Structure 1
C-alpha cells in the first residue's frame, strides 16, 4: 500500500512515524470566508496542508466553508437560524431532528448564541461514529463541551483570540441597562469556552498578543499555548502595476456595527482629513449598517458621498480594490492577528494601522513598514493618513517594506508547516499518555 493510500484509508492505524502524511479532520462551526477570519483560516490552511501531502477533511456548518482543490467538505448542518434574509428565524416543526436542534432554538429564543455548543455536540457524535479514520482532529475555535473527552483521535484547537475581548468592547459600547443585559446573554457561551480551553492539551494561536490574552482571559497554562503565525496568500495578494492608483483612496475591511473594528474612528478621521485633502475618500469592504455609531457619524459629518461600502465581490476584485488604494487602513481597537493588514501589505499598498492587540506584530515598526497610531484616536489616524497621502516616496518605501515583511514572516505555507508539526507533537503526546495508562 502506498503512503498516500495509507493516509486516506479509513482502516489505517494511528500515525507511526514523523514523515507519513496525516489524516486531518478540521472542524469549523462557521466557515464561510466572507463571514470573517475563521473562514479565511480554514480555506487557506486546508489548501496548504494538502499541498504538504496531508489528507484534510473539513467538517463544517452553515455558512459552509469555501475550499480550494484538494480538501474535502463534510456538511454537518445546524438549523441555520441566522441565515440571510431571515435571521433569528423560527424553524418549522418538520425541521427538528433531535434534542440538539431543540437546544439550538431554545438558546436563540432566550437571547443566547448556541452555535459553538450545538456544533460541538453534533461534531462529537459524528467523530465517534468515525473513530479511527483520523490521525488528528483540529478544532477552529468552537471550544464547545462536546469536544471534551475521547473523540477517537488527539485534539488540537486554534483560538484566534478570546471572544471575551469582543464581549468587553461590546459591553463598553452598549447604551442602557437592557442593551447591556442583552450583550451579556449573547456572550454567555464564552463561559463555556473558557472552561473547555482550560482542559485542552494543545492550543494553537496566531500571535504572541493572543497567546497572552488566552492565558489572562481564559486561564490556559502557558506551556499549553503555541504560536503559529498565519499570513497572506502572496500569489493572490501581490503588486500589479497595471492597476491604476486612485488619488485619495483609502481602503479598509470592517463590519460597521462591530465596535472592536474601530470604523467609527476612521470615519471621524476622514472628516478631519478632508478639510485639508478634499479628494480623500474611504472604501469599506464590509456590510453597511443603516443605524448605529458609524451610520450616525457618516451623516453628522456629511460623508455620504465620501464613504462607500462594498460586499460580495470576488477575490480578484478585492485584491484589485486594495491595489488601487493609495493607503490601506486597519483602525481596529483590537485584533488577534489582522489578516487585512497582512494582505494589504502583500500587495505593496502602504499601511496605516493602530497598535491594538497583535497588529504591531503583523504591521511592524512605525515608520519602517507602516505608520502606527494608538487605537481609538481619530486625530492621530487623520494625521497619519494625511502624511501618507501627501508623500509618494513614503508610500513607495513603506509599501515595498511591508510586502517584504509578509514574504519573510507571514505566509500560509509556513503556517501549514508549523501547524503540522504541532499535529505530530499532539499525536506523540497522546501515544505517550496511552503507554503510561497501559503500564
Structure 2
C-alpha cells in the first residue's frame, strides 16, 4: 500500500490542499487539463482541494464534492474578442493590476508574476486553512519564501521548462523583429529559472522533462520527482459502436506553434495521398493564420479549403474528442518536443493506433516502436509519411498496435495513479517541514 492509499484508509489524515493555476481552462492547454483531472482524483482519494485560479477560469469536475474554487481575477488582458485591451480606469484595484498592464504594454507576459503576487496575499491571510500549497507551473516571484511566511510546504509542478518553447520559437522566427518580440514575450522565463532553483520540491511528468528541468532551470536533481499523468479512461476508451472512417488521421495540434510540428504532418499527408487518396487529416485546434508556415504549406500542397484533405475543429468536448479518435484509423503526434503528451495517451486509451515522433518525453508515453506505436524522428516528414502509409495499408497491424497501446495506458498512465503519486510528494514535503 502506498503512502497516499494509506491516507485514504485512515493511517494518515486527509489533506487540505491549495492548488494554484494561473491559467486553468482545459481548452487553453495541458495545465488546465492537469488541474481538472488531478483535483477530481485527489478528492476521490479523500482529500479537500481548493483550486485558486485566474482567467480563463478552470473547468472542474468535482465542485462541491471535495473540490472548491476561489477566483483570483487578473485584468484578463488576453481575452477574446479584445486581446491586448486597455482596461477602464475603474478596473484597476491595486499596484499589481498596474504592473500587469504595464508589462503587457511593453510586450511582456505578466500573468505568472502577477498571479503569484495575488496568491501569496491570499495564502498569507488563510494559512490556517491548508496543509500544503501545490503550484501548477506559475513559478512567480510571489511564491518565493512562501513556506517561511506561512509555514505551509510548497510543492510545484513543472510540466516542462518554457525555455524549450522559447528556443524552438526563436529558431523558427522568420525576421529579426519577430525574434526581438519573442525575446521580450518570453522574458518571464528568467524569473521562472530564478524561482525554480529555490524550490524545495518539484514534480514533473516524465523523465525527459526532469532532465530538462535540471539542465535548463538549474534545479538540484534530488529535488525533482517524476509523477506521470494520464488519460481520462472514463471518456477515452474503445467503442465498437463508433464507425471508423476510412483514411481518417486525427491530431491535436496548435497550428501556429512550431513546437507541435504540424507543418511536417501536412507535408507527410501530401505524400501519403499519392498512394492512399482517401487519407485525410482532422486537426483538433485552431486554423493557421493566413501567411503562416502551415497555411502556406496547405496551399503549396493543394490541401487547403475545398480539397477535403484537412479539416480543423475547435472547442469540442472530451466526449466528442473521444468519438473523433475512435472513428480514426490513425492518431498522430508530430511534435518536435513534448513534456509528456496527453494527446498520445488519450489516443492510445481509445485503442486507436498511434504514429508519434520521438521528441522529448513522447517515447516514455507511446512506448516501443512497432509494439505500442510507430515511432519516427521529429521533423522528418518522409518518416511520418512512411509510418502513416504502413498503418493505412495493414488492418492487422492497426489492430495490434491499437490494442497494445491501450494496455500500456491502463497499466501506467491514469489520473488515479497520478493523484496517488502526487499525494506521496505532499506527505514527503510535510515530513520535511516537521
TM-score, normalised by the number of residues in structure 2 = 0.95
Structure 2 contact 345–366 (Cα < 8 Å) conserved? yes
Residue of structure 1 equivalent to 2:325: 322
Structure 2 contact 286–312 (Cα < 8 Å) conserved? yes
Listed as ranges, the gaps of 5+ residues in structure 1 are 1-6, 8-16, 432-439
Correspondences of 1:23-422 after superposition (within 5 Å): 23-69=16-62, 70=65, 71-151=67-147, 152=150, 153-291=152-290, 292-304=292-304, 305-422=308-425
Q: Distance in 1 between matches of 2:294 and 2:210?
A: 31
Structure 2 contact 55–74 (Cα < 8 Å) conserved? yes
Structure 1 contact 205–229 (Cα < 8 Å) conserved? yes
Deviations 1:54-80 (A, max 9, x none): 000000000000001231111000000
Q: Distance in 2 between matches of 1:204 and 1:317?
A: 31
Shift of 1:150: 2.9
Structure 2 contact 109–185 (Cα < 8 Å) conserved? yes
Matched, 1:423 2:426: yes
Q: Distance in 2 between matches of 1:403 and 1:45?
A: 21
Q: Distance in 2 between matches of 1:188 and 1:290?
A: 24
Q: Distance in 2 between matches of 1:405 and 1:240?
A: 18
Q: Distance in 1 between matches of 2:31 and 2:207?
A: 18
Q: Distance in 2 between matches of 1:332 and 1:343?
A: 15
Q: Distance in 1 between matches of 2:114 and 2:185?
A: 15
Q: Distance in 1 between matches of 2:376 and 2:79?
A: 37
Secondary structure of 1:284's aligned partner? strand
Residue of structure 2 equivalent to 1:13: none
Q: Distance in 1 between matches of 2:202 and 2:318?
A: 30
State the superposition RMSD in angstroms: 1.0
Structure 1 contact 32–40 (Cα < 8 Å) conserved? yes
Between 148-157 and 343-352, report the one with greater CA deviation: 148-157
Between 171-180 and 344-353, report the one with greater CA deviation: 171-180
Shift of 1:177: 1.1
TM-score, normalised by the number of residues in structure 1 = 0.94
Secondary structure of 1:199's aligned partner? coil
Structure 2 contact 160–212 (Cα < 8 Å) conserved? yes
How many equivalent residue pairs?
416
Q: Distance in 2 between matches of 1:159 and 1:56?
A: 19
Shift of 1:234: 1.1
Residue of structure 1 equivalent to 2:4: none
| Off by >6 Å, runs of 4+ in structure 1 | none
Between 302-311 and 182-191, report the one with greater CA deviation: 302-311
Q: Distance in 2 between matches of 1:167 and 1:323?
A: 34
Q: Distance in 1 between matches of 2:193 and 2:110?
A: 15
Secondary structure of 2:127's aligned partner? coil
Structure 1 contact 18–424 (Cα < 8 Å) conserved? no
